Amino acid sequence: MSPVRARVVPQALNECWGIFYLSIFIISIFVSIICKQKFKTSIMKKIIFLMILAIVTLGIGCSKSGTPNTATTNSSFQGAWSGQFTGSGDNGTWVANISSTGVVSGTAYSNIFPGASEINGTVTNQGAFSATVGRSSDGARFSGNLSARSGSGTWVNTAAGINGNWTGTKQ
């Protein structure tokens, strides 16, 4: 189960480049002070080499901060969903909300078993849906696919030995 992913510019990337440019400014001041001193050229070459190495290392570190971020905005599946589940040994309805990051949370209501059960899961950017209803140790596992306005799949509760199908629509 991977959360929805999108290529967004993380806040850390902007902060990293700010630090990068500040360090270049400080290093340039340091170099100008050293250049005014009467050091031997071999020492000066070593100092300049180490400063260039530090700048390159910091630049590489900043560019790695820009990899795709798992925190996503504007998931195409974001919003309220509802539906029903049917199968051998259980049936009922469910309601859930999908967040902008693809996190699924909601409630399932069984017509057979008393009470309501929590729904927790994720949906990928491609619409692959995976959630647990109830406790992960003895609850049901729902999986399937969502499209822009509807979804369907299967569910299984191995602890109870029951399974079936589910369908849903976006509100």
Question: Mean per-residue pLDDT for 27-34?
Answer: 66
Tokens of 129: 């849906």
Of the candidates 147, 149, 145, 148, the residue with the CA atom closest to the CA atom of residue 166? 145
What's the confidence (pLDDT) of residue 18? 64
Q: Count CA atoms within 13 Å of residue 158 on its CB side.
A: 4
pLDDT at 19 over 80: no
Most confident of 20-34, 35-49, 127-141: 127-141
pLDDT at 14 over 60: no
Of the candidates 93, 105, 106, 98, the residue with the CA atom closest to the CA atom of residue 124? 98
CATH topology of domain 79-170: Lipocalin (2.40.128)
**Element housing 118 (H / E):** strand 116-123
Work out the pLDDT band at 71, boundaries 50, 70, 90. very low
Of residues 30 and 98, more confidence is placed in 98
Least confident of 4-8, 30-34, 115-119: 4-8
What's the confidence (pLDDT) of residue 128? 93
- Long-range contacts of the stretch 88-94 (C-beta < 8 A, 24+): 88/162, 88/163, 88/164, 89/160, 89/161, 89/162, 90/140, 90/157, 90/160, 90/162, 90/164, 91/164, 94/119, 94/133, 94/166, 94/168
Of residues 57 and 6, more confidence is placed in 57
With 0.75 as the threshold, say if the pTM is over it: no
